[in-house]
Amino acid sequence: MTDLPGSQDTEALKKKLLGADGLDRVEILADLSIAYRETDRRKAIEFGEQGLDLLEINEDKKLESTILNELCWAYQCIGEYQKALEYGFRNLEITDITNDEISRSDTFNRIGIIYYKLSNIDKALDYFLKALRIFEKTNEILKVSSMLNNISIIYSSLNDESTALEYCNRAIEISEKHGCLTNLANSLNNAGSIFRRSDELEKALEYYQKALKIREDLGETWKIARVLTNIGMIHDDLNNHEDALDCFFRALEIEMEKGDIHDASQTLLSISLNYASTGRFKEAYEYAGKGLANIDSIDSPVIKRNIYQSCSEVCERIGNFSEALEFLKKYKTLNDKIYTEESSQKINELRVKYESDKKERETEIYRLRNIELARTNEDLKNALNEVKHLSGLLPICSLCKKIRDDHGYWEQIESYISDHSEALFSHGLCPECMKRLYPEFKD
């Protein structure tokens, strides 16, 4: 899922914090929460909640909205989804008061991500579409690309790869056009996953490697791990097991460093599957156990489902068929819970409604543009009707300078020009004529 990380100098902010009080202190605490968003979520929460406490005596709705948004994101990242939703909905109440559409749409996005993690797929899509509508209305092009990518992930999780790829390609096109490399890497990584599910492995690897190159060039260490795990799975699919292991262990190091137990659990199971594929069953079982160790602390049914599926595969490969069956049952129970017929129907209805709304907006824009164009054309036509042009050959007397008109009559030049243009004449004498006709007044 796509969100844009903050990046500030944390040490400089901490020094500023020492002598600050009141709203200045709250603002620095908000900046620190943003700065730690991806590198240390616990610190992001710590600074954010300090800022909220101070706002009880130093009210500032804009700052409160910023902090609530960050806390919503940080709690989502550590898997405390109910707490994240609490802060998200509190922020929506504030944006209704401040009428801050950008903050509201950012919060819609984050709530959508939480609902996706909680397997409420139709609710996730609903909030993504709410965010998308606002970003389209406010012409926040790069955020539009982020929403398109998130919506693509929803459809990919529903195994609707054609719709997923449609949204993903639109996101890639916008990111490339506007040079937003972070968004481009997100969408390329997503495209890789879509192609992997379609069993187009070489194409998937190509997209993953492009995403990894951008991440490395940008120094986005916190986002490299997921791409490395994806590349590792492709290598396993292609029986390049040593290359796969290298990717998995690089990813695991990053995930453990930032305390991301969810992604780390999935990477540990990928390592377990790798070992099982090469007959190293002892190591396979060891890493499967590590991957399962934190499953009780994971609230996300999507992540749990993926872990159960991996565990079932591991047990099957090492010959433990009874455990493989138990994990498979758990996987199926969660999968059926996630993708109900009712949920699929709601998702289809949401998409139809969005596409219909979008078509109506585009039709209205087209109608207004046509009205404006017609008005401009009418103004231009009226202006042209008032303009008279002189063109062609004009017969003129070489002595008196009279002009012969279309009927053969000779007219003074000023009379002819006045009749055939908008020009008006005023009379005077040039210096030469003044000297010749009135020499006494020549000076």
The DSSP H or E segment spanning 323 is helix 321-338
| Confidence band, pLDDT 50/70/90 cuts, at residue 7 | very low
Predicted confidence at residue 366, as pLDDT, reads 54
In a domain, 232, yes or no: no
pLDDT in tens, 93-131: 999 888 998 889 999 999 999 988 887 888 888 999 999
Q: What is the mean pLDDT of residues 408-420?
A: 72
Which of these, 99, 95, 123, 98, lies nearest to 111 by C-alpha position? Answer: 123
The DSSP code for 411 is: E
Q: What is the mean pLDDT of residues 13-17?
A: 88
In a domain, 346, yes or no: no
Which of these, 300, 331, 302, 338, lies nearest to 315 by C-alpha position? Answer: 331
Predicted confidence at residue 361, as pLDDT, reads 52
Q: What is the mean pLDDT of residues 17-42?
A: 88
Quick check: helix, strand or coil at residue 427? coil
Predicted confidence at residue 336, as pLDDT, reads 79
Predicted confidence at residue 111, as pLDDT, reads 94
In whole angstroms, give the CA distance from residue 164 to residue 60: 41
Degrees to nearest 5, angle at CA 255 with 74 and 8? 50
Higher-confidence position of 304 and 339 = 304
In whole angstroms, give the CA distance from residue 249 to residue 389: 81
* Mean pLDDT taken over the chain: 82
pLDDT in tens, 326-384: 888 888 888 777 665 445 555 555 555 555 555 555 554 455 555 566 666 666 666 55
In whole angstroms, give the CA distance from residue 264 to residue 254: 9
Predicted confidence at residue 431, as pLDDT, reads 76
Quick check: helix, strand or coil at residue 396? strand
In a domain, 357, yes or no: no
In whole angstroms, give the CA distance from residue 437 to residue 430: 11
Q: Say if residues 170 and 155 touch (Cβ distance below 8 Å).
A: no
In a domain, 350, yes or no: no
Predicted confidence at residue 269, as pLDDT, reads 85
In a domain, 48, yes or no: yes
Least confident of 180-189, 210-219, 379-388, 402-411: 379-388
Q: Domain limits at 409?
A: 403-441
Could you tell me which residues are beta bridge partners of residue 251?
none
Q: What is the mean pLDDT of residues 256-285?
A: 85
CATH code of the domain covering residue 77: 1.25.40.10
Highest mean pLDDT among 165-174, 270-279, 325-334: 165-174
Q: What is the mean pLDDT of residues 266-279?
A: 88
Q: Say if residues 343 and 116 touch (Cβ distance below 8 Å).
A: no
Where does a domain end: 89, 109, 139?
Answer: 139
Token readout for 114 is 């939480």
Instruction: Pick left, alpha or beta for residue 428 (phi over 0 → left; psi -120 to 50 → alpha; otherwise beta).
Output: beta
| Confidence band, pLDDT 50/70/90 cuts, at residue 262 | confident
| Confidence band, pLDDT 50/70/90 cuts, at residue 387 | very low
Where does a domain end: 124, 139, 154?
Answer: 139
The DSSP result for 336-383, as a single string, is: HHHS-HHHHHHHHHHHHHHHHHHHHHHHHHHHHHHHHHHHHHHHHHHH
Q: For residue 53, give Cα distances in angstroms to 37, 127, 158, 358.
A: 19, 29, 41, 42
The DSSP result for 21-44, as a single string, is: -HHHHHHHHHHHHHHTTTT-HHHH
Predicted confidence at residue 184, as pLDDT, reads 95
Residue 89 has pLDDT above 60, yes or no: yes
Provide, rounded to the nearest whole percent, the portion of the chain with pLDDT above 90. Answer: 35
pLDDT in tens, 226-239: 999 999 999 999 99
In a domain, 300, yes or no: no
Residue 56 has pLDDT above 80, yes or no: yes
Which of these, 236, 151, 165, lies nearest to 207 by C-alpha position? Answer: 165
Predicted confidence at residue 6, as pLDDT, reads 43
In whole angstroms, give the CA distance from residue 423 to residue 417: 7
Higher-confidence position of 382 and 259 = 259
In a domain, 126, yes or no: yes
Q: Say if residues 338 and 154 touch (Cβ distance below 8 Å).
A: no
Q: What is the mean pLDDT of residues 128-135?
A: 91
Predicted confidence at residue 370, as pLDDT, reads 59
Predicted confidence at residue 339, as pLDDT, reads 63
Residue 214 has pLDDT above 50, yes or no: yes
| Confidence band, pLDDT 50/70/90 cuts, at residue 5 | very low
Highest mean pLDDT among 35-49, 159-173, 272-286: 159-173
- Provide the domain count of the chain: 2
Q: What is the mean pLDDT of residues 157-174?
A: 91
In whole angstroms, give the CA distance from residue 25 to residue 20: 5
Where does a domain end: 112, 139, 166?
Answer: 139
Least confident of 6-10, 27-31, 188-192, 224-228: 6-10
pTM of the model: 0.67
Provide, rounded to the nearest whole percent, the portion of the chain with pLDDT above 70. Answer: 80
In a domain, 148, yes or no: no
